[in-house]
Amino acid sequence: MEQVGKMLDKILMHYEKREYDAAEKLLDKLLEGNPGYHKGCFLKAILLEETGRAEEAKEFFERSGNVFTMMFRLALQLEDTDPSRALTYYDRLTQMDPRNNMLWFNRGLICEKMGDQSGARESFSNLQPSREIVSRILIPLGFMICLLGGGVMMILRGNSALASLVIVSAVFCLFWLRRDAGQALQMRSKKKQYGIK
């Protein structure tokens, strides 16, 4: 499996540099030994599409498993090295899941980075930050408060061992809240920045 991982890294390196021939040779070798390898099938499909062989790509997309997740990861990977290609995949992803805030948010940030203010505005106008605020801030905050309240009640009843475990869980919720809250608030601020209600 380690060899497969190293080969996949080489394939991605060639792909990112648009060295399609080298990437395709390695992909064919990889798929020869591992014909059901989902990531390999997905990359082969992407490579075929980008080189104008969309009909051939369909078979490999069908063998790829979860195309949405793999395409999202590819778009994330391309954000810094090739924003225009990342944008192409975000456009496809937003057609697959038009209510996904992360897709619109990432797409908007790339548009901003590329100087496309109208594309950024369009992306940020599709955001629904209230959903993110509920799922990334209010729910974890409520869960953390319940854990802390339960921990305090356990301490008052003399069960300090279990209380410490519950309080540690509440601390993990705090880290969870800290990690995710920033993005939800950033989504809201982007809508305000562009004057979108």
Same domain, 57 and 98: no
Read off the tokens for 67: 């195309």
Q: How many domains does the chain have?
A: 3
Dist. CA 170–CA 87, nearest whole Å: 38
Instruction: Quote the CA–CA distance of 25 and 13 in Å, as a whole number.
Output: 13
> In 3-state terms, what secondary structure has residue 44?
helix
Q: In this predicted structure, what is the pLDDT of residue 96?
A: 97
Same domain, yes or no, for 116 and 148? no
Q: Do 103 and 56 fall within a single domain?
A: no
Question: Domain span at residue 173?
Answer: 129-193
Query: Does 172 lie in the same domain as 121?
Result: no
Per-residue pLDDT tens digits of the chain, which is 197 residues long: 678 889 989 999 999 999 999 999 999 999 998 888 999 999 999 999 999 999 999 999 999 999 999 999 999 999 999 999 999 999 999 999 999 999 999 999 999 999 999 999 999 999 999 999 999 899 999 999 999 999 999 999 998 888 999 999 999 888 888 888 988 999 999 999 999 98
The pLDDT of residue 1 is 61
The answer on 76 and 48 residing in a single domain is no
